[in-house]
């Protein structure tokens, strides 16, 4: 795939994630896909892992938005800089609902092979998240 096509695919991932589009995940996420994310307490592998991640995040955050700020690509890698926004209204990986707004920075690096996402490195401002929901002092 071209670099531009890879960028389109990476952007589409976030649209599909917000829509919980399992059919998109089956078409565009490789069965052996893995997300490297030190902030998670569970493994995200394949389309099923992305579905589980969606359940966790959508279950804890309402009005979720993922505005993309920048997309950079080279070879088979695409870096997406975005925001994770919403309201913390449910359990979020052990954090009880605070009804507070969340707005944190995220950097996602994808590796794409043959038009499918095969690997994902995620870095989120988890410290900022904990402060925003009141789990840590601001």
pLDDT tens for each residue of 41-92: 999 999 999 999 999 999 999 999 999 999 999 999 999 999 999 999 999 9
CATH number at residue 113: 3.10.450.50
- Does residue 138 surpass a pLDDT of 90? no
* Vertex 21 angle, CA 108 and 36, to 5°: 30
30, 46 contact by CB (below 8 A): yes
Residue 17 token pair: 């994630």
**Average pLDDT over the chain, rounded to an integer:** 97
Residue 121 lies in a domain: yes
The reported pTM is: 0.94
Residue 68 maps to a domain: yes
16: confidence class by pLDDT, cuts 50, 70, 90: very high
Residue 13 maps to a domain: yes
pLDDT at 119: 98
CA distances from 62 to 18, 30, 55, 75, 100 (A): 11, 28, 12, 35, 11
110 Cβ contact list (under 8 Å, min separation 6) = 6, 9, 10, 13, 77, 78, 79, 80, 117, 119, 120
Number of domains in the chain: 1
Domain-embedded: residue 34: yes
Residue 138, in any domain of the structure: no
- The whole domain housing 11 covers 3-133
């Amino acid at each position: 795939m071209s670099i531009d096509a890879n960028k389109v695919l990476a952007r589409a991932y976030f649209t599909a994630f917000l829509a919980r589009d399992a059919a998109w995940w089956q078409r565009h996420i490789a069965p052996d896909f893995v997300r490297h994310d030190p902030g998670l307490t569970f493994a995200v592998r394949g389309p099923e892992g992305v579905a589980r991640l969606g359940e966790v995040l959508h279950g804890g955050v309402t009005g979720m938005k993922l505005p993309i700020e920048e997309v950079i690509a080279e070879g088979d890698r695409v870096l997406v800089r975005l925001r994770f926004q919403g309201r913390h209204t449910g359990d979020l990986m052990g954090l009880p609902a605070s009804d507070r707004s969340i707005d944190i920075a995220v950097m996602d690096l994808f590796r794409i092979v043959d038009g499918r996402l095969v690997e994902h490195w995620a870095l989120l401002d988890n410290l900022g998240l904990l402060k925003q929901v009141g789990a840590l002092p601001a």
